[in-house]
Amino acid sequence: MDKILRIDMGAEGGPSLTVFPVGEFAGLGGRALTSAIVSKEVAPLCHALGAENKLVIAPGLLSGSVAANSGRLSIGCKSPLTGGIKESNAGGMASQTLAKLGYAAIVIEGKPKDGATYKIVINKDGATVKADNSLKMLGNYATVEKLAKEYGDKPCFITIGPAGEMKLSAASIACTDMEGRPTRHAGRGGVGAVMGSKGVKAIVLDDTGASMRAPKDPEKFKEANKMWVAGLKKHPVTGEGLAAYGTNVLTNVLNEAGGYPTNNFSIGRFEGHTKISGETQAALETERGGLATHGCHKGCIIRCSGVYHDKNGQYLTKQPEYETVWAHGGNCGIDDLDAIAMLDRLDDDYGLDTIEMGATIGVAMEAGLAKFGDAEAAINLVKQVGQGTDLGRILGSGAAVTGKVFGVERVPVVKGQALPAYDPRAVQGIGVTYATSTMGADHTAGYAVGSNILGIGGKVDALSPDGQVDLSRNLQIATAAVDSTGMCLFIAFAVLDQPETFQALIDMINAFYGLNLTGDDVAALGMSVLRNERDFNTRAGFTSAHDRLPAFFTNEFLPPHNIKFKVTDTELDSVFNF
């Protein structure tokens, strides 16, 4: 990973490719690298869909090695959804493959003048860009099927669907999984629209002939990875809980806690929760011949994913995640797992962020476009996005735009990005993260749900504002560092509870790169990432006024606890006091 591939899609005479040494960005990976490049090279006031924006795709520091769970890919740019910096990351096979091919990053710049649809092909011999208009407006599934016919089923593919080509702000970027399906998405912030604006439909990554990345100190690395694997297997969540029920085990937990946003964040419990819970989902998947346990990339030992079959036992989609089941389920009053799985499939195929789309349908239901609980209407609304109707384009632009167009007051967004599956009134710590994250509302940016609800990484009372700012700050710093390693964020459950597992992670990085980092250095890395991102957002026009939740969270009581968000503005403004 000592080189950066830069592709100027707007070059005279057609796209040009240049390979540069990693240079000043040496030692950075994943989010640290995407945010460093975007912060340094992208004009903060540029139009996110213009030639000045850049799409940066980077594997993590340990991706492409044998380190367990090191296969997350970071994708950065200026976000068309938030107007700020964006790093959205995904599982699937792309990160390991790109790292094995030796690239620290691909930077896609400029904008083609010819309106053609392009594909980028990267293998051990180099990279090429070709126009391929036969891919235009295909869904992600049809796109990868066509690419697999041409390039075989060995490569992995990074693609966008029609939503990205239409440059809709909820558009995602899909990465294929171990089975070659386009199911793992960099979902948040409209990164798919930026890829679409560059005219790039697909990136083909073929690592045939490439080796696993070799550590500087193989013996120490092997030993550290052994400790690492043992730590992940030992922790009850990473070793057992996530594999058995998947992420959707949280439906019942958040419902019990009274923090499960229902009917567009109007109440904190959903009557139909057991019908769509992880327990029910896992049993149904097993009964129909799908899989309740499945890893999204080679080297994953947590295996929180699954495979969802329809009533006829045919593959429909990957196991919809908790966030998706909530967004299209309880948030819309829908208690039908088959309908939710269909919505997940449509989102994946059109290339849409499931959180943004579920929140958007919730807002549309509040506006009266459909009734809460009407699954068929929800499916039809999402289909309109894929068809590119006028209404579909509004919905595909996200919850904030939809709320504005239809005059809705209760619109759950921060910095224009929809809130995920935890009501910040009943989980006050995650409210601090939603409000202050550089990314807009993003649960992964500082997962305070662990300490507020799950008893992981200590305990902080979910219903009290006390201690939430410190909790969120520390988690945001740690997360920015983890997002730079290529590690799946779920490793944090073990790392937060087991000091020896955290040490094993540091030891792996040190052995791999010949370094002597300490825990303090890891925190310093996280802080530097956040500083880069905050700096970009400030130059893009963001102020403390953007670090706030929508007013209804401080004005409206949430049943059953009848509680409001109580962290003060002054406290929120102290999150980034470093």
Does residue 391 belong to the site contacting other proteins (CB under 8 A)?
no
Positive or negative, the CA dihedral 372, 377, 382, 385 is negative
CB–CB of 457/450 below 8 Å?
yes
Residues linked to residue 241 through DSSP beta bridges, in sequence order: none
User: Given the rule CB under 8 A, which of 348-356, 391-399, 439-447, 549-557 is the region that contacts other proteins?
Assistant: 439-447
CB–CB of 540/84 below 8 Å?
yes
- DSSP H or E stretch at residue 159: strand 156-159
- DSSP H or E stretch at residue 37: helix 30-41
Q: How many CA atoms lie within 13 A of 331 on its CB side?
A: 33
Q: In sequence order, which residues have a C-beta less than 8 Å from that of residue 118 and are 6 or more positions away?
A: 9, 15, 112, 129, 130, 131, 132, 199, 200, 201
CB–CB of 415/533 below 8 Å?
no
If the CB atoms of residues 171 and 449 are measured against other proteins, the closer one turns out to be 449
Does residue 117 belong to the site contacting other proteins (CB under 8 A)?
no
CA-CA distance, 83 to 203, in Å (whole number)?
A: 25
Q: Nearest 5°: phi and psi at 10?
A: -105, 10
Q: Nearest approach, Cβ of 450 to other proteins (angstroms)?
A: 7
If the CB atoms of residues 119 and 443 are measured against other proteins, the closer one turns out to be 443
Residue 189 is given by DSSP the state G
Q: Nearest approach, Cβ of 479 to other proteins (angstroms)?
A: 11
Q: Nearest approach, Cβ of 463 to other proteins (angstroms)?
A: 7
CA-CA distance, 161 to 350, in Å (whole number)?
A: 5
Does residue 353 belong to the site contacting other proteins (CB under 8 A)?
no
Task: Please identify which residue in 116, 227, 454, 527 interacts with other proteins, judged by CB under 8 A.
Answer: 454
Does residue 491 belong to the site contacting other proteins (CB under 8 A)?
no
Residues linked to residue 185 through DSSP beta bridges, in sequence order: 174
Does residue 461 belong to the site contacting other proteins (CB under 8 A)?
yes
Residue 70 is given by DSSP the state -
CA-CA distance, 460 to 452, in Å (whole number)?
A: 5
Does residue 127 belong to the site contacting other proteins (CB under 8 A)?
no
Residues 281-320 that bind other proteins (CB under 8 A): 304
Name residue 529's amino acid: V
Q: Nearest approach, Cβ of 318 to other proteins (angstroms)?
A: 15
Task: Please identify which residue in 89, 140, 324, 444 interacts with other proteins, judged by CB under 8 A.
Answer: 444
Q: Nearest approach, Cβ of 269 to other proteins (angstroms)?
A: 8
Size of the site for other proteins (CB under 8 A): 43
Block residue for tokens 């409001």 = 564
- The separation between the first and the last C-alpha atoms of the chain, rounded to the nearest angstrom, is 31
Does residue 174 belong to the site contacting other proteins (CB under 8 A)?
no
User: Given the rule CB under 8 A, which of 357-365, 444-452, 465-473, 512-520 is the region that contacts other proteins?
Assistant: 444-452
Does residue 459 belong to the site contacting other proteins (CB under 8 A)?
yes
Q: Nearest approach, Cβ of 299 to other proteins (angstroms)?
A: 20
Task: Please identify which residue in 34, 123, 262, 277 interacts with other proteins, judged by CB under 8 A.
Answer: 277
Residues 228-267 that bind other proteins (CB under 8 A): 236-237, 241-242, 244-250, 252-253, 256-258
Per DSSP, the chain holds a count of helices (H) and strands (E) of 24, 17
User: Given the rule CB under 8 A, which of 205-213, 365-373, 459-467, 470-478 is the region that contacts other proteins?
Assistant: 459-467
CA-CA distance, 151 to 253, in Å (whole number)?
A: 44
Does residue 221 belong to the site contacting other proteins (CB under 8 A)?
no
Q: Which residues bind other proteins (CB under 8 A)?
A: 236-237, 241-242, 244-250, 252-253, 256-258, 274, 277-280, 304, 321-323, 443-444, 447, 449-450, 453-456, 459, 461-463, 489-490, 493, 560-561
